[in-house]
Amino acid sequence: MTRAWSLAAIVAGVAVGCLLVAAPAGALRFGSIPGPGSAFVAPPLGSIARTITVGSEPTGLAYDAAKNRLYVANYAGESVTVVDTKTGKLVTTVPTGYNAWELALDTRTGQLFVANDLTGNVTIINTTSNTVTRNLDVGCTYAVGVVYDPQNGRVYVECDETSEIAVVDGATDSVLGYIEVSGGTSNSGIAIDPTNHTLFVANWGSDTVTVISTRTNLVVANLTVAAYIDGTFYDPDSNTVYVTLHYANEVVLLNASTYRVLGTIPVGGEPHGAVLDPVSGTVVVANTNSDNVSIFDAVTNKLIGHLAAGDGPWQLAYDPTQELVFASDHDSSSVVSFEAGAV
């Protein structure tokens, strides 16, 4: 059953019409490959700095620079592993709901929000005491994604089966309402631009990215991108949304303001998560099937090369203190770290 948005604070008005944007024929292809899914061989880069054993089938990551803590969602382990990134040692393991999937961290309050896939709820963890404060029912059958908005203090949770976004008040841990992802099915990833008050929702089933205003909680555009969209990542420096294509082995670049396709970049097998390394000026993409990450220049969008990243790298996080990228290795129950700029 689809539920309409019901937050009383919204001012009554007319929703902005949905914009259907297809990739233009003249969109640039960054890198030299003949077409989607083609093999692209790039020079290897540096090596893995450290491997840390965590829970079973790790997926989502969140990093707290103030605490030097990495939080790892363990899908099959039904838990979150807390890692001291300075020592590489495990601090503790916190139980969650079934199939912990993605994480969102509010560094101001120290609350960690865990989207639990099969439980369909959100586990809220106090990262000071590393204890569960609540398992919040957000009305999802499958909760597959979560982001935190530091501008309004709200948490946005993807409900896969109903194509809705549950909106949670991060201060009271209560559900405020639901946003219908009209034009999008089988949600597979979510990213936020807090400055411009925008959500970007990846839709695996409809080959689209839905753009939502967090001011009005309304859909403002549906962007037709490509088949089997697996994830989204927003880079505020370039105002670009990176969209990973699971089977095409590519990343599509979208202008976050105009919603136009800027081009595509060839990466490794079955890309999923992405992160920006601001020190080296590179974007790093986790390739689950080829067991590596692809690294490309964030300004020129030219592929620099690939780096081995364990067994089934899934999601990425950046540690600005040590200038390291962490990758969750879904198939080896570990997390690896490396320098993206070590060419």
- Residue identified by tokens 């290795």 is 329
Provide the 3-class DSSP secondary structure of residue 340.
coil
pLDDT band at 13; cut points 50, 70, 90: very low
Round to whole Å and give the CA distance between 322 and 161.
39
| Alpha-carbon distances, residue 215 vs 11, 198, 220 (angstroms) | 10, 8, 11
Give the closest residue to 112 by CA, choosing from 86, 134, 91. 134
CB atoms inside a 10 Å sphere around CB 280: 19
* 79-108: pLDDT as tens digits: 999 999 999 999 999 999 999 999 999 999
What domains are there in the chain, each with its CATH number?
26-338 (2.130.10.10)
**For the chain, what percent of residues have pLDDT higher than 90?**
76
**For the chain, what percent of residues have pLDDT higher than 70?**
85
Task: Write the CB contacts of 3 (distance below 8 Å, at least 6 apart in sequence).
Answer: 139, 162, 164, 177, 178, 180
* 299-338: pLDDT as tens digits: 999 999 999 999 999 999 999 999 999 999 999 999 999 9
Round to whole Å and give the CA distance between 299 and 189.
24
Give the closest residue to 101 by CA, choosing from 70, 137, 74. 74
Average pLDDT score over residue span 280-294: 96
Residue 211 has pLDDT above 90, yes or no: yes
- The pair phi, psi for residue 64, each rounded to 5°, is -115, 105
Task: Write the CB contacts of 26 (distance below 8 Å, at least 6 apart in sequence).
Answer: none
* 214-240: pLDDT as tens digits: 999 999 999 999 888 989 999 999 999
- Residue identified by tokens 């790093």 is 284
Average pLDDT score over residue span 8-15: 34
* 121-144: pLDDT as tens digits: 999 999 999 999 999 999 999 999
